[in-house]
Structure 1
Amino acid sequence: MTTGFFSHPDFLLHEMGEWHPECPARLQAIEDQLIASRIDALIERDESAPLATEADLLRVHTQAHIDFIRNTAPKEGYASIDPDTLMNPHTWQAALRAAGAAIAATDAVLAGRYENAFCSVRPPGHHAEPARAMGFCFFNNIAIAARHALEVHGLQRVAIVDFDVHHGNGTEAAFAGDSRVLMCSFFQHPFYPYTGAENPAPNMVNLPIAARTKGMEVREAIDIMWLPRLHEFKPEMVFVSAGFDAHREDDLGNMGLVEDDFAWITEQIREIAGRYAKGRIVSSLEGGYNLSALGRSVVAHLRALADI
């Protein structure tokens, strides 16, 4: 299997202060683990992370939201979106490039250049709603890529799998009720952003999980709840919001997963994609804030994607 690895130096320029856990060191930790694990040479690097266009963003976000983010970008210092989400002078370009990387990965996988791809990007995206930035997120990278696959490439059915410790409220807001999209997620509950557990739309397979739940219980829930729906849906492509903050070493969550659990989840996704979607998967980084655990978990995810 050929796995593309999409990243770009601009992602290191966005930062929200020395205190902030969503920091440039996250991507550097991933790079360090790629080298330490010796899989760096077994994946194909791709820095074709163009800036997403306004038309790309408008497939998910409102014009008012795009204008607000553009106009809020500071010339120096920081501008606050919410208490945890800030912009520096480089955030606007990094956010456009993060969405652009997911689009470029989608194009490359659909063109057959890679069987699947991982986007090592920041800022993350799955909390960004059509009309609101929040939770470290400005534009919804995976939602934009999924809409691109549907509306530009003409796919009929795409699945989105979100295994971040926090519910992907932005992605759900973008696709709730859209029969072309099946979204499967688990998330710690009750927990930020306190959504996802009440009356989800029929195309949402939401698994609220209690704090301190370990990997085997999550695997069992996925086996019972996600996999039958994914087999029934038969997606033509699978998109992944890959958050690694459900790791037991990550202090921003309180769940008990380890690297083997992320590898197992990825193997299930790969099996679905192999059966129905010609193996086509685009995965994009969301959370994961313990630097060592993040790097190790991304390596486990990549090993499963690339089948190495």
Structure 2
Amino acid sequence: MTTFHAAVVHPDQTVTYCGTVDQGHVDAVRALAEPEGAPRVVRDHPEQPGTLFVLRDDGELDWYVPSEYVPFGAPDAPRGGPARQGGAESALETDTETERAADSADEVTGPDYVPGAIRFGNQMIGGAMDHPENPARAVWHTTESPAGGNFITSVATFLMKVASEPQVIYDPVTDRLGQFGPMSRSARALRNDGSRRTNREGRVCIQVEVLGRAARPFTQSFDPATKPTFRSLLTAMRAHGIPDVWPAGKPVPSATSPMPRPRPTWQGKGGHFGHCHVPGNTHWDPGAIDTSLIPGAPLAPATPDYDES
């Protein structure tokens, strides 16, 4: 029977190794966490079959890794398992220190950080844009998880562990926002379109993972006028030159909807896109969000009424 390393990833990103468990234990965990409305949510690793995470609303993450893999913090874990933890959406796109230094002087037209954003990880998820001559754009995703509580921390930790970070993660229930890196650099939440790196398309490509599910659009009962952090995010996008338009049309309403992804539109037009609109990708999120609200008409930005550091 397959055995698994078990670990807990804490909100401060430290890891406690808990030893090994058997397949029966993992099957029981999955059965308890998968039903709709369960207090925990299972997410599978996109590139390591059998590896799963359990998202907890207290911000901690349970991590189960088949014994052939080597989880961080396992002192006696066997060697020789697959080492790369690249995300399902793209290969790892890190830069050398030389490249970081070279492009650090690139002109930035808007802010790199939204006021009040929680900073997750080391803030070095991507690099310079491949096609800065093309217009600025934003891409909207959904995490396919609950919102509220402390899920923003749990999901952020999951995204870092599978190397699929956007620049921004947003909770529409709490109006909390986190960042994995500056907006002027690339993210890694999209699959490449062949050899063309979709994460690095345009002057900026600001990607947002919204806590929620595509099947239940997060704009239902959502009022941007009551969400000062969200308004600050949209203000930052506009400052980077992203126009208030959806060049590829509204995001699709279901997984079975036609999802044409025209390359000329993606590469040549600026504005807002859904994950469903990006060439080379297969996901249908963020669902049928209300494009009259996102981005909607500009509202005055506001300072969040909490202090996160």
Normalized against structure 1, the TM-score is what? 0.27
Higher-RCO chain (CA-CA 8 Å, sequence separation at least 6): 1
Q: Which is helix-richer, 1 or 2?
A: 1
Normalized against structure 2, the TM-score is what? 0.27
Larger radius of gyration: 2
